[in-house]
Amino acid sequence: MTGSKYVRAAAAAAILAAAMAVSGCETNETLGRSQLILFDESTLEQGALSAWQEQLKTAKISRDPVLNARIQKVGGRIVTAAGMGGRQWEYVLFDDPQPNAFVIPGNKVGVNTGLFKVVKNDDQLAAVLGHETGHVIARHAAERASQQAAAGVALDVATHATSGKVQQVVANYGGLGAQVGILLPYSRKHESEADRIGVDLMVKAGYHASEAVVLWENMMAQNSGAPPEFLSTHPSDKTRINDLKAYIAARGYK
């Protein structure tokens, strides 16, 4: 192992050790695994609400009655299937050509009009909204924020524990190592988990699981010039399609 590789490995090890040292690990029964949770939901919601309100002020919102009605109807069925129908959910349709949707703490869901270039029916819309609801069930926002905080603390420890040229290398490459080696893979794991939860929810809500695969086939036809999967926060469309096919078959869904 070369000197630079050794330093990067040492930095990564320091990041992991610090994350474990400050961890507040909790078990998520839906995921069947423990999570690093350092922030409660109310703390995240306060910051997210400010960003959401700013988004509503600056972004163009679509009042398309048909699309808004579809989002409300499908979203309502999904959250009811998730046992979250008693919570307040806000769905906003943004006039944006990018095929995207997102959820932020506080059950705020944004859907771009461009999503309907790839969403051809309500079953496929259910796959999208099921996925976003899956992120909430999985507490991915809290876990992601906790991972980033732990990685930041660990990098600071690694940088100050070295000196001279070694310190400079850690400062230059430690952040990249954390991003590519830890944070991005965890983000891809989150996306895959949300996909699986979303499929379970859409089936429970009365939609066809196979349409989740069709959705991502539509998305793959739209995508071009995507970064390599190891440098992306999301699995590649092909990986996603294969994983969904395997999960749907294993669960016996149609």
Query: Token pair 């998730």 is at which residue?
Result: 82
Amino acid at 46: Q
Question: Is residue 132 flagged as an active site residue?
Answer: yes
Instruction: Please spell the DSSP secondary structure of 124-191, one letter per residue.
Output: HHHHHHHHHHHHHHTTHHHHHHHHHHHHHHHHHHHHHT--HHHHHHHHHHHHHHHIIIIIHHHHHHHH
Which of 26, 132, 191, 229 is an active site residue? 132
CA distance 137 to 131: 10
**Catalytic residue numbers, as ranges:** 132
